[in-house]
Structure 1
Amino acid sequence: MFDNALEGVRVLDLTHHVAGPQCTKLLADYGADVIKVERPSGDPARSIGPFQNDQPHPEKSGLFLHLNINKRSITVNLKHPNGVGVVKELVRESDIAIENFQPGMMDSLGLGYDVLEKINPAIVLTSISNFGQTGPYREMKSSDIVAYAMGGPMNITGHADYEPLKLAGNIVAMHAGSVAAYATMVALWDAEDTGEGQNVDISIYETQAGFRDRRVIYLTAHAYTGESYSRPDPGYRVASGTRPCADGFVNILGFGPRFRNISNMIGHPELADDPKFADPAGRSDPDVAMAFDEYYIPWLMEHTKLEAVNEAQDNQLLAGPINTVEDIFKDPHFEFRGYWDTIDHPETGELTYPGRPFKMSGAELPPRSPAPLLGQHTVEVLENLGHTTQVISLLRESGAI
């Protein structure tokens, strides 16, 4: 039994915004000591909302607070030679360094992998960038929606009669950060075995091109048949998909062999033998679907989301509610599993945060600490490196920290 799965692993976090901090957050969640290096003005994510009480404040960004739980913050000016020197000292004491600057930036700062491996031959440097460290797109600017569009998912998202859509939120950056955390741990495992580190190259573009199993199949099919897959026809299917109910929307699958189940559920078992609905192929006809809805929708409007879903599950139907954020927050399943964490922050007070993404039977992980104040641990970290109060003052006066 151990308290922290990654206890003893030190991570030098040179990341900002979303993808990099998501990577280091996952490591911090499981016990790694993550030292977040911020520019003197702070991670730009500190200026991105939502903000507590809708009042912009560098210590009250919901995005920053979520992505930087369990980390320590030091402020370092990477444009100052002494600031770079501090980072090199931390490299010597770290197992992992993670950065998401534009390719070439680390080299220009004097912190490229060839420099870091001389300081610490076992260091794992994970580099997260839009398109990777090599290739013709290496220096292209990008964003979450650009990566989602170029990587392929956007082409099959949305209504066939309208422009393609993007899934909500920072889904691309969050996914890339999760991939980076996985890749980093693989590299760390190898470093512990061989004593030699390596530079892990994460291309956000590539994480999208291989994301979602269906699209990979379509790409393969295209290679063999010359055909590609686009957004599906928006036509209704009988008894399947999203429908309104008394307090929102539900998604119930009553198509194919489950049609008799859903007919029984809504109190019209005779519909299962109605010639209009008997032909499975005909159930894809929007007119036939709307004819079934004349029986289906009134039943749904008499039931709440949870009532409809419970009835559907009792009738062996695949079903789930279309949850709002409030629904998720109040979900009894999450409550039973102790998913939500309440964390006290010196500026925001107690807030509730999403929990760790997975549980481990062999680890008793301690309560999580709040995201750090800007530079909160600068003196502590420098003292741990052996710097005296006088040296720390000189570094501060010179603008290095």
Structure 2
Amino acid sequence: MCDSKVQAEASTTTTPGALTGIRVLDFTWVRAGPWCTRWLGALGAEVIKIEWPQSPNTRGNNIATGAGTPEGLPANLNTNGHFSDTNCNKLSVTLNTRTARGIDLTRRLVAMSDIVIENFAYGVLERWGLGYEDMKKLRPDIIYLSMSGFGHTGRDRDYQTMGAIAQALSGLTYTSGLPGQPPAGWGWSYLDDTGGLYGAMYALSAIYHRNMTGQGQHVDSSQWITGVPLNGAAFLDIQANGRSTMRNGYPPGNRAHWPGTPLVNNYRGRTVAPHNAYKTSPGEYNDWCAIVCFSDHEWRGLVGVMGSPSWATGEKFATLEGRLEHQEELDQGIEAWTKTLGKYEIMERCQAAGVPAMPVQSSQDRVDNDPQLRYREMYRDVEHPALGTWPLQNAPFKMSETPAFNSRSGPLIGGHNKEVLEGLLGISHEEFVNGFQDGTFWPKDLSMEDYPYFQEMMDDASPVHWSGNEPIANPGPAPARTPGADSAGAFAGLRVLELADEKGQWCGKQMADMGADVIKIEPPGGEAARSVGPFFQDIPNRERSLYFWHYNTSKRGITLALETEDGRRLFRQMAEKADVILETFRPGYMASLGLGYDDLKKSNSGLIMCSLTPFGQTGPWKDYQTSDLLHLAAGGQMARCGYDDEVVPDAPPIAPGGGQAWHIGSHFAYIATAAALVNRSVTGRGQYIDASVHDACALTTEGHVNQYIYKGSVVPRRTGGGNTATGPNAQVLCKDGKYVNVGQVTPERVLMLAEWMDEHGLAGDLLDEKYRDPAVIAENQSHIRELLVNFLANLTRDEAYHGLQKRG
């Protein structure tokens, strides 16, 4: 699959990372938390992962199912390929935090770490005696990032969640699907991936703030709340116009407008047609493409590519109004043509004519058939001590001075016990051996037969040389500013020049919300996003776009014509005093004006410039025309989002809610920019960042790429969120016509459900002891779902939600 190879325990590059010298103490598990710390590790941080083999984790899930183990290898705690990718760039230490000795060693690690990250339910670290106030006594400038589902405050802080549940609660699940059908639910836990990215964004912002002020802090994040603003302008539409998403024609499938319904904006950008997915040759499950025409000119280009069929050349489809009015006929005609060609050939023909079109790519397509991802080395081979050599997913951005790099595979469980405990903490070898014997470093009742390296560690009494960060706490650079009593945000004092359209405006807003002075520079007449609805009181006007409002709060704005000499002169003057430039022009445009990074850094050596483009600055697709829908097609999201055949037979792949491709690209652009700022706070040097929306989307389908890489299987579309968990894990209709999302079913949860259902005489046979066996649950998923669906049909959504949560 790849030509590049990296050794498991040593990077082939000597270039320091942006976070070199930063130590992360990682207590995270499952997906969101480890996905956060994975990227901190790729950026150069030293990440020490604290694990315990008997605690619920993605390692242990693999033993029962073998879901992540390549064929021919035993399923154990070290052979889960998905775990390796999600946890690469980390050290692993097994430590029993339920013992006094384990807690003592944990406290010593906290004292020499820069940031502690966990995604437990509220209160776990407090019960260990390691709440934020306790940590501050160990290290006054410690940063503590908690990533629980509901946050550490509020009525529901004790509730439990996983990505799919948080996604449903945030409103995102409802944004994808077909009118008159249940929500499609995306088919994977978008908020696990995205929750992890927000964790990295928060961590980097807090590290930068500490470097500038000397202050640590507790960052209390809520996984489900991170999803709320990702609904785009939908919430402003409710507040300003009283328009609910529970309306006829919403969600509109892949279309910007559903035929036969009122012509209102459905949060998929501009309301245009065609805007859909179409079947392609040879007609197999994943043979689809997406095509969008934003103008009459692009429509005429598509007509030409199709060979100017008579049905398409008349006046009926000549205008946008006509195409919207006759969408059914329009889409039927287009699909009659697309079914005669392969999806990549359609893309190439359309793009050559300036028509936006992309293939709907499965996980296999992204790994094996995508020349753009291959060119940008998104999958590079890394050797794993137990798995062998396999591709790991790379960062979707290129940093000129501090490249993000997978320096090692996912660690063996406890594979760095001796290195960290003896080398870093300095415990004696006798203490080390005793820790295995007394259950501090490994459960006394769990065999180490599959993990012989533990015995090798105990047999080796030679001194350990610690090769990582300094054993003492890194105090960071001297503070550059003193925060006021009311901090203006982590990025206070920074100036950002934003030359961004829909692709990057979310990144600029996030930086502005963190306190940066973001100056949005629009062309005379304003940015095109101002013409996108919905509009305040449904009155179209460039000053009334709720879409523009949503993505551009907290910013200042000016207009400037960069094509004029005066405009370029003024921009150069602004760039001399700027910290960051964020731009989304086509590759090479800024350089063609004499405003490229190499031009601007001559008068500002600390300048950071981030270019966020559809496909990056390099590669065969770099100049292709695109849109949010097309990125969700090529990035893999549509190949996973849709319906089970038993729910909606022959349903198309369906794009998740509108704007998500731009959100995903902006999140990674923020991460790269914040990392560059952290590096500059230490070195004084700026750098250039080449970020790609396509690369970012290709990373954001949870474990689907890994499922193909390690198991050779392509995950199909399915109704509901999450991965392949046992049980309903999908939307269930309640008696008030609203839906509740039910997560993974375990023996404990089946018993809880059965006892509650029995109070209403609806438990069926679920109280039978056989359902204490996970294998029996797996064999009877349909039966369990049927009983649960019948039960929840007698409750309102809120009764079901709170009733289930209060019972665990």
TM-score after normalising by structure 2: 0.47
2:276 to 226, 241, 246: 241
Whether 2:86 is the aligned partner of 1:87: answer no
Matches within 5 A, 1:137-216: 137-211=156-230, 215-216=231-232
CA distance in 1, matches of 2:197, 2:273: 38
1:334 matched to which residue of 2?
Answer: 373
1:358 matched to which residue of 2?
Answer: 397
Whether 2:20 is the aligned partner of 1:7: answer yes
Q: 1:302 to 1:388 in 2, by over 3 A?
A: same
Provide, for residues 183-233 of structure 1, a one-character-per-residue CA deviation record: whole Å limited to 9, x for no partner. Answer: 11111112222222111111001101112xxx2311012111211224334
1:52 to 42, 47, 70: 70
CA distance in 1, matches of 2:237, 2:361: 34
Shift of 1:113: 0.8
Question: Are the equivalent residues in 2 in contact too, given 1:81–1:400 (CA < 8 A)?
Answer: no
2:52 matched to which residue of 1?
Answer: 39
Q: 1:270 to 1:363 in 2, by over 3 A?
A: same
Provide, for residues 241-294 of structure 1, a one-character-per-residue CA deviation record: whole Å limited to 9, x for no partner. Answer: 111111411101136513222111111165555133345334234xx4454456
Q: 1:233 to 1:372 in 2, by over 3 A?
A: closer
Shift of 1:115: 0.7
Once the two structures are overlaid, the 10-residue window that deviates more, 267-276 or 192-201, is 267-276
Letter in 2 for 1:375: G
Provide, for residues 155-189 of structure 1, a one-character-per-residue CA deviation record: whole Å limited to 9, x for no partner. Answer: 22111111112213232111111101111111111
Q: 1:72 to 1:294 in 2, by over 3 A?
A: closer
CA distance in 2, matches of 1:155, 1:108: 37
What secondary structure, in the 3-state scheme, does the structure 1 residue paired with 2:398 have? Answer: coil
Whether 2:342 is the aligned partner of 1:304: answer yes
Question: Are the equivalent residues in 2 in contact too, given 1:262–1:312 (CA < 8 A)?
Answer: yes
CA distance in 1, matches of 2:234, 2:34: 32
Bigger relative contact order, structure 1 or 2, given CA contacts below 8 A and separation 6+?
1
CA distance in 2, matches of 1:259, 1:358: 33
What secondary structure, in the 3-state scheme, does the structure 2 residue paired with 1:11 have? Answer: strand
Q: How many percent identity over aligned positions?
A: 29
Letter in 2 for 1:320: M
Shift of 1:367: 5.3
Q: Gaps (5+ residues) in structure 1?
A: none
1:281 to 316, 321, 324: 321
What secondary structure, in the 3-state scheme, does the structure 2 residue paired with 1:399 have? Answer: coil
Which is richer in helix?
1
CA distance in 2, matches of 1:189, 1:348: 36
1:314 matched to which residue of 2?
Answer: 352
What secondary structure, in the 3-state scheme, does the structure 1 residue paired with 2:232 have? Answer: helix
2:37 matched to which residue of 1?
Answer: 24
What secondary structure, in the 3-state scheme, does the structure 2 residue paired with 1:186 have? Answer: helix
Q: 1:63 to 1:243 in 2, by over 3 A?
A: same
Q: 1:298 to 1:221 in 2, by over 3 A?
A: closer
Q: 1:297 to 1:201 in 2, by over 3 A?
A: same
CA distance in 1, matches of 2:302, 2:376: 31
CA distance in 2, matches of 1:328, 1:66: 16
CA distance in 1, matches of 2:143, 2:380: 31
RMSD: 2.1
Letter in 2 for 1:177: G
Whether 2:293 is the aligned partner of 1:254: answer yes
Shift of 1:153: 0.9
What secondary structure, in the 3-state scheme, does the structure 1 residue paired with 2:243 have? Answer: coil
CA distance in 2, matches of 1:294, 1:147: 37
CA distance in 2, matches of 1:141, 1:336: 41
Provide, for residues 65-107 of structure 1, a one-character-per-residue CA deviation record: whole Å limited to 9, x for no partner. Answer: 1111011000000100110011111111111110111111111
Question: Are the equivalent residues in 1 in contact too, given 2:398–2:404 (CA < 8 A)?
Answer: no
Kindly tell me the number of residue pairs found equivalent between the two proteins: 396
Question: Are the equivalent residues in 1 in contact too, given 2:141–2:214 (CA < 8 A)?
Answer: yes
What secondary structure, in the 3-state scheme, does the structure 2 residue paired with 1:359 have? Answer: strand
Once the two structures are overlaid, the 10-residue window that deviates more, 248-257 or 140-149, is 248-257
Letter in 1 for 2:344: L
Question: Are the equivalent residues in 2 in contact too, given 1:259–1:272 (CA < 8 A)?
Answer: no
Shift of 1:356: 1.9
Shift of 1:365: 5.3
Question: Are the equivalent residues in 2 in contact too, given 1:254–1:261 (CA < 8 A)?
Answer: no
What secondary structure, in the 3-state scheme, does the structure 2 residue paired with 1:371 have? Answer: coil
1:63 matched to which residue of 2?
Answer: 82
Whether 2:407 is the aligned partner of 1:368: answer yes
What secondary structure, in the 3-state scheme, does the structure 2 residue paired with 1:128 have? Answer: strand
Q: 1:226 to 1:179 in 2, by over 3 A?
A: same
CA distance in 2, matches of 1:299, 1:250: 12
Once the two structures are overlaid, the 10-residue window that deviates more, 330-339 or 103-112, is 330-339
Letter in 1 for 2:279: P
Question: Are the equivalent residues in 1 in contact too, given 2:381–2:389 (CA < 8 A)?
Answer: yes
2:385 matched to which residue of 1?
Answer: 346
Shift of 1:338: 1.8
1:268 matched to which residue of 2?
Answer: 308
Question: Are the equivalent residues in 1 in contact too, given 2:394–2:406 (CA < 8 A)?
Answer: no
CA distance in 2, matches of 1:397, 1:30: 37
Letter in 2 for 1:299: W
Shift of 1:400: 1.9
CA distance in 2, matches of 1:4, 1:298: 51
2:449 matched to which residue of 1?
Answer: none
CA distance in 2, matches of 1:35, 1:43: 18
Question: Are the equivalent residues in 2 in contact too, given 1:42–1:75 (CA < 8 A)?
Answer: no
1:127 matched to which residue of 2?
Answer: 146
CA distance in 2, matches of 1:43, 1:35: 18
Once the two structures are overlaid, the 10-residue window that deviates more, 23-32 or 219-228, is 219-228
Whether 2:234 is the aligned partner of 1:218: answer yes
1:391 to 431, 438, 452: 431
CA distance in 2, matches of 1:277, 1:332: 34
